[in-house]
Amino acid sequence: MIEILGVSSQALWGQLLIGLINGAFYALLSLGLAIIFGLLNIVNFAHGAQYMVGAFCAWIALNWFGVNYWVALILAPLVVGALGALMELLLLRRIRDLDHVYGLLLTFGAALLIEGSFRQFFGSAGLPYPMPEQLRGGRDLGFMVLPNYRAWVIVASAVVCLVTWLVIERTKLGAYLRAAMHNPSLLQAFGVRVPRMVTLTYAFGATLAGFGGVMAAPIYQVSPAMGSSTLIVVFAVVVIGGMGSIGGAMVTGFGLGLVEGLAKVFYPPASSTVIFAVMVIVLLLRPAGLFGRVA
């Protein structure tokens, strides 16, 4: 067996794979956060809760209604997106003209309420969600065994991120979004219904979080706290990538997942903090983030 710095290549590939999977979730979540921040100027602290609700929707759908993974993968994100739209219409819209810190506080409060309610009804223990049958097992790549479900997560997340990026960068709809991020009132004076766009954008960010939650359900257990623990890392990812930089959020998400995986191989105690160390270094060297433009 080949060894690098005393580490077997099998362990290295294994950890890199886990890193890539974590990175897939970081990318999905930070993409939604970056889009929401770009248009609403709100740091969406409810993002983790929305991810968790997505996972619970899948769990409830399966256990109460017998709805399978694939249907839940479509339905649960839509439910989370609809809840996001409601939250924007009923709550966030009212504080739009106030200081942005109110948006942060409001979404933080909402996240606590949502998490608390789920803890009340479902307890804090993780609930198991079975792998979809079609994706059980794995294939031997020679140097390691790649579980099918994990491959699916990486591919699906990358495709969703890429399609989102293409829509934002290459379509008329995306041009509206980019223009609205820069000067929403002028775009509205051109006749674009910016308030509706804000609602749909927030809903879309929540949809991405819900989608991530469903994909996470078979890998991690479904629990009320699953969102908040992930979200802290995702915030770091967004800051490293550059607040509001959509491409940056995705690339950084996958990249930092790998960095975390590498840390687990070479110096495991650092694996939970390495992302924050990277954040400190990046902020010192490039305060606007890796892909952020200095205002």
Partner 1 sequence: MSERIETGADLLVVENLKAWYGDSRALQRIDLRVRSGQIATLVGRNGAGKTTTLRAIMGLVAREGSIRFQGRELVGLLPDAIARCGIAYCPEERGIFPGLTTEENLMLPPVLRPGGMSTAEVYSLFPNLHERRRSMGTRLSGGEQQMLAIGRILRIGAQLLLLDEPTEGLAPIIVEQIGVAIQALKARGFTILLVEQNLDFAQEISDAFWMIEDGQVVDQMDRTGVVDEAALSQFRKHLSL
Q: Which residues bind partner 1 (CB under 8 A)?
A: 172, 175-176, 178-179, 182-183, 185-195
| CB nearer partner 1, residue 135 or residue 192 | 192
- Rounded to 10°, the helix 148-170/9-40 angle is 30
| CB nearer partner 1, residue 163 or residue 175 | 175
The answer to whether the beta carbons of residues 249 and 33 sit under 8 Å apart is yes
The answer to whether the beta carbons of residues 283 and 239 sit under 8 Å apart is yes
The answer to whether the beta carbons of residues 239 and 34 sit under 8 Å apart is no
CB of 182 to partner 1, least distance (A): 5
Residue 78 to residues 57, 110, 231, Cα–Cα distance (Å): 10, 19, 20
Cα 271–Cα 275–Cα 276 angle in degrees, nearest 5: 115
| CB nearer partner 1, residue 66 or residue 191 | 191
Structure-derived torsion over alpha carbons of residues 41, 43, 47, 48, reported in degrees to the nearest 10: 170
Q: Which two tokens stand for residue 258?
A: 């790998």
CB of 199 to partner 1, least distance (A): 14
Q: How many CA atoms lie within 13 A of 185 on its CB side?
A: 2
CB of 151 to partner 1, least distance (A): 35
CA 136 to chain centre: 24
| CB nearer partner 1, residue 120 or residue 185 | 185
Q: Which amino acid is at 252?
A: T
CB of 262 to partner 1, least distance (A): 34
The answer to whether the beta carbons of residues 45 and 107 sit under 8 Å apart is yes
CB of 290 to partner 1, least distance (A): 18
CB of 38 to partner 1, least distance (A): 12
| CB nearer partner 1, residue 139 or residue 172 | 172
Q: Which two tokens stand for residue 156?
A: 């699906």
Q: Which amino acid is at 275?
A: I
CB of 92 to partner 1, least distance (A): 17
Distance CA 156, CA 152 (A): 6
CB of 27 to partner 1, least distance (A): 22
| CB nearer partner 1, residue 136 or residue 182 | 182
| CB nearer partner 1, residue 146 or residue 192 | 192
| CB nearer partner 1, residue 121 or residue 190 | 190
Distance CA 243, CA 293 (A): 9
Q: Which two tokens stand for residue 106?
A: 């409001």
